[in-house]
Structures are given as C-alpha cells and as structure tokens.
C-alpha cells in the first residue's frame, strides 16, 4: 500500500459512498481506476433497490439499501445524495453507529458545512466538495473546503480522493455556489456548445461523426493550451485570428449573438438556484433537531 493510500483510508477500514447515482458511481469508478482504493475496501448505499442492484453489478462492490451494518467500520464516507435526501442520509449514519472520527465528505450541491453539521448533530469532521462528471475520465475539476470540526489533515485526505480523478483546489466556502454553477454544471454547457458546433459542421457538409470528433478534439486542445501555456484566452484567440480571415468573421457573428452575456446569465441563474438547493427545511431535519433538544 502506498503512503498516499494510508493517508486516505486506515488499515482495516473501508470507504463508503451514500448515494449510488451518477456522481457516486463516477467517483467510485475513478477511485478504483486510479488504484487509490481497492474494491474490497469500498461499499455503497442507496435508497432505491433497483439502483443498488444495477450499481453493484456495474461497480463490482456491495451496494445495498440496508448498508447500516457497514457504517461502524467506515474510515471515510462520501455523501452523494440529492439535497432533499441529506437529512435522511445523515440520520441513517448517525443511527447506525457512525464513529466520531469518521470523515464525511459531502458533494451535495447547495448544502453548506454548517447545515451538514447541524443536521448530523455530532462533531464528526466534515469536508464539502464540488466535483464534476469529468471525474469519470480523470479530468474532473473539484473544489473543497472544511467544516468547523475538520482539521488540515482531513482536507488533505479529501484532496487525495479528488486528485485521483482530476484537479482539486481548496477554496473558501463563500465561493461554492458560484463554482457549482461554473464548473459543477460546466460540462453540460460544454456539451451543448459542442453539440451546436457539430450541428454547424453538418450544416456545411460534414458527416456527423466526423464533425463531433473535430469539435471534441478541438475543445480538448484549446483547454489544454489555456492550462499549459498560462496565457489569457484572448491572447490565444488572437493567434488564430488573422486579418480579413475566416476566424474573425465567425467571431463577429458570435459577438452579434451576444454569446458572452448569454453564458454569463446562464452561470448567474445556475448560481442562484444552487444557493437555494439546501435551504428548505424538511420534516426529517426538524424531527432530528427536536430529538437532540429533548422534545
């Protein structure tokens, strides 16, 4: 076992994933593919029995509705449920004998660390993360921050998890809604743009698969140039834009269509929605709060 593996998960312990949907499965696949954690030390839980059956077959790890017996052996648990399911998921962990030292990493959009800690009702270390689906091809973009009871080493453990499936940065939690809108939802924006460009290629006579291949590789190459050169996108764009050439003609048409403001408004709208995802109280959370206060 590598030193990095030892930092992420203690000997004899396991990593659990609550929520075996798209992102839960994406992270499991990425972690297994990276070699950071073996399948024999991973398990998952989901409220949907059919999801459990399909995910278990696909991932080759135990995925169960009744996962509670595994909780006490978990060294680290990823929370990958939808925002309304957070109170029930945390209550299930608490009632299953969650150990005080178990690190919880939440990728739930819009749910802040203080709310996670309040609903959980314990002093477990909590790290909040916002990855995106590119984790499945080890090109994910994830940001992380720590809650009140988490230490620097907990943040480092989370960073190792997400660096196994892409790039990871520690940021202030105040930025999370904006980041959720920009990079969390970002792959969807890119897919839409690529689809539109491929359609444009078909419009000017290209076979569809060829157009898709050209667009996808061009997007990948452009992104790599920004990341590796450190140059501003506008500077790189100028390299392509020769006087009286075809590129400037295409760019002016995009500007005429107000592409900048449309993209900015899309991110702004998504950020507003992200800010409200975790705010609505639920009966489960209210009941848990009442139990803790003795009422």
In order of start, what are the domains of the chain with their CATH numbers?
A: 3-176+280-293 (3.40.50.720), 185-257 (1.10.3730.10)
pTM score, two decimals?
Answer: 0.86
Residue 280: both structure tokens together: 């609505």
C-alpha–C-alpha distance, residues 126 and 148, integer Å: 8
Q: What is the pLDDT of residues 55-82, one digit of tens each?
A: 999 999 999 999 999 999 999 999 999 9
The region of weakest confidence among 5-19, 163-177, 205-219, 226-240 is 5-19
The region of weakest confidence among 7-11, 93-97, 230-234 is 7-11
Assess contact for 128 and 155: CB atoms under 8 A.
Answer: no
Q: What is the pLDDT of residues 101-139, one digit of tens each?
A: 999 999 999 999 999 999 999 999 999 999 999 988 889
Average pLDDT, the chain: 90
Task: Look at the block and give the residue holding tokens 């590119």.
Answer: 134
| DSSP strand pairing (140-146 vs 126-130) | antiparallel
Residue 259: both structure tokens together: 């592409």
pLDDT of 294 higher than 50: no
**Phi-psi category of residue 278: left, alpha or beta, with phi > 0 → left and psi -120 to 50 → alpha:** alpha
CA end-to-end span of the chain:
48
């Amino acid at each position: 076992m590598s030193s990095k593996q030892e930092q992420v998960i203690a000997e004899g312990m396991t990593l659990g994933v609550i929520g075996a949907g798209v992102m839960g499965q994406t992270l499991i696949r990425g972690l297994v593919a990276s070699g950071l954690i073996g399948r024999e030390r991973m398990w998952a839980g989901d409220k949907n029995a059919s999801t459990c059956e399909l995910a278990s077959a696909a991932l080759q790890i135990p995925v169960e509705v009744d996962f509670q017996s595994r909780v006490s052996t978990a060294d680290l648990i990823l929370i990958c449920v939808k925002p309304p399911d957070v109170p029930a998921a945390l209550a299930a962990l608490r009632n299953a004998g969650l150990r005080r030292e178990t690190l919880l990493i939440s990728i739930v959009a819009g749910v802040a660390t203080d709310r996670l800690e309040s609903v959980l009702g314990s002093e477990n270390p909590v790290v909040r993360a916002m990855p995106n689906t590119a984790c499945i091809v080890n090109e994910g973009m994830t940001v992380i921050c720590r809650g009140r009871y988490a230490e620097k080493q907990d943040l480092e453990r989370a960073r190792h998890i997400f660096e196994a499936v892409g790039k990871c940065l520690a940021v202030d939690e105040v930025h999370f809604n904006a980041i959720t809108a920009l990079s969390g939802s970002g792959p969807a924006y890119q897919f839409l743009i690529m689809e539109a460009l491929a359609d444009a290629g078909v419009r000017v006579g290209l076979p569809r698969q060829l157009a898709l291949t050209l667009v996808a590789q061009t997007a990948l190459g452009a992104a790599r140039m920004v990341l590796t050169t450190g140059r501003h996108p506008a500077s790189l764009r100028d390299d392509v834009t020769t006087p009286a050439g075809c590129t400037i003609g295409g760019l002016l048409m995009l500007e005429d269509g107000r592409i900048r403001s449309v993209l900015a408004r899309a991110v702004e709208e998504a950020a507003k929605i992200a800010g409200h995802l975790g705010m609505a109280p639920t009966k489960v959370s209210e009941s848990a709060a009442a139990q803790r206060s003795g009422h």
